[in-house]
A = this chain, B = another copy of it.
Amino acid sequence: MVEALNLGLRQAMAADERVVVLGEDVAKTGGVFRVTAGLLDEFGEARVVDTPLAEAGLVGSAIGMSLYGLLPVVEIQFDVFVYPGFEQIVVHAARYAWRTRGEVPASIVVRIPYGGGVRAPELHSDSPEALFCHVPGLKVLCPATPVDARDMMLAAIAHPDPVIFMEPKRIYRAGRQHVDDQPPFDPRTGDGEAWGAVACARTARAGSDLALITYGATVPLCLEAAERLSSTDAVEAAVIDLRALYPLDVEAITQAASSCGRVLVVHEAPRTAGLGAEVSSLVHERCMLDLEAPVGRVTGYDVPFPQFINEDDYLPSVERIVAGARRVLDF
């Protein structure tokens, strides 16, 4: 996925000189995850900048740049480090369009490598996406495959509204996939079209007995769980990869829920007031009569992300997903 994200950035920068990349250690080293590798050499130090170490200054300057007409892509080095820049995102980026009659949105992309499972030290593994989904004015995307990663990157940059781009670091190097060199659309003009193509849920696996609804790093786990359920329980589970976390693809969600009658939502973030709660509410509000069981949730627990020797105990696993699915199936 890292290469795909890098390709998306390169294609966007090549197509539109308004695109700039800012962050801590993004230029010279190409970022701690190498997502921005090579951009400095290709596009020069005016457009690929190692900034001072300050997230509010980083996001805030990006907002100022977008005011002037540039399209900044900001890298937050790790999930937890977005919090010092939280105010700039939720107060300013989220409200700029609204405070300017919709004429001057903050057209920025904030890239956040998030989540656990990579044996990182303390405070490098948060999943803050729900916080951003609760703040009106932001769009939130999260790819689960290399192709989506590239296409979403292009779409996010072309999109006029501020996009929080959640990058599941656990699958940064998993799930190899061919990403063809041609951008799927003209990065300069592709907004609506491009956005529509990726800002909607994707059926990662078809199935009619149960819908596993998830996003990001837990998509491959849900696919594995679905295979397990198929072979051991003779249950065919659909796997819905949300891709867009705000706004949610309510049609796809309700359609899957109604056709399967049973739903399990899976995410890594803590449970209370997480996205699982929103998906569960949407499904019950709209599909109550089609449901044969309450929507289940398999999520991170309501605890701080643990030290890594215990992170597998915290993270939703194939086992936990299968167990959660059985609870829904056996209701």
Contact = CB atoms under 8 A, between A and B. Distances in A.
Interface of A: 56, 80, 83-84, 86-87, 90-91, 94-95, 98-99, 122-123, 130-131, 133-137, 246-248, 269-270, 272-278, 280-281, 284-286, 288, 291, 293-297, 301-304
Contacts of A87: 83-84, 86
Nearest to A94: B304
B270 A134 contact: yes
Count of chain copies: 2
A273 B86 contact: no
A321 to B, nearest CB: 17
B273 A133 contact: yes
A91 B98 contact: no
Contacts of A86: 83, 86-87
Given A135-B270, A137-B304, 13 more contacts: A80-B91, A83-B87, A91-B123, A98-B303, A133-B273, A134-B134, A134-B273, A136-B302, A247-B272, A273-B274, A273-B277, A284-B294, A288-B294
A251 B90 CA distance: 34
Contacts of A285: 280, 294-297
Contacts of A302: 136
A278 B284 contact: no
Nearest to A131: B131
A295 B284 contact: yes
Nearest to A89: B83
Q: Which of A272, A280, A295, A303 has the most CB of B within 10 A?
A: A272
26 contacts: A56-B84, A80-B91, A83-B86, A84-B87, A86-B87, A91-B123, A94-B304, A95-B304, A130-B273, A134-B270, A134-B274, A136-B303, A136-B304, A246-B272, A272-B278, A273-B275, A276-B281, A277-B281, A280-B280, A280-B281, A281-B295, A284-B295, A285-B295, A285-B296, A285-B297, A288-B293
Contact of A297 (B83, B246, B275, B281): B281
A281 B248 CA distance: 17
Contacts of A304: 94-95, 98, 136-137
Contacts of A136: 270, 272, 301-304
Of all A-B residue pairs in the complex, the 3 with the closest CB atoms, nearest first, are A83-B87, A277-B277, A280-B281
Nearest to A81: B87
A273 to B, nearest CB: 4
A137 B305 CA distance: 11
Nearest to A246: B272
A280 B304 CA distance: 24
Nearest to A86: B86
B98 A90 contact: no
Nearest to A80: B91
A134 B134 CA distance: 11
A133 to B, nearest CB: 5
A123 to B, nearest CB: 7
A11 to B, nearest CB: 31
Nearest to A273: B134
A302 B247 CA distance: 10
A315 to B, nearest CB: 15
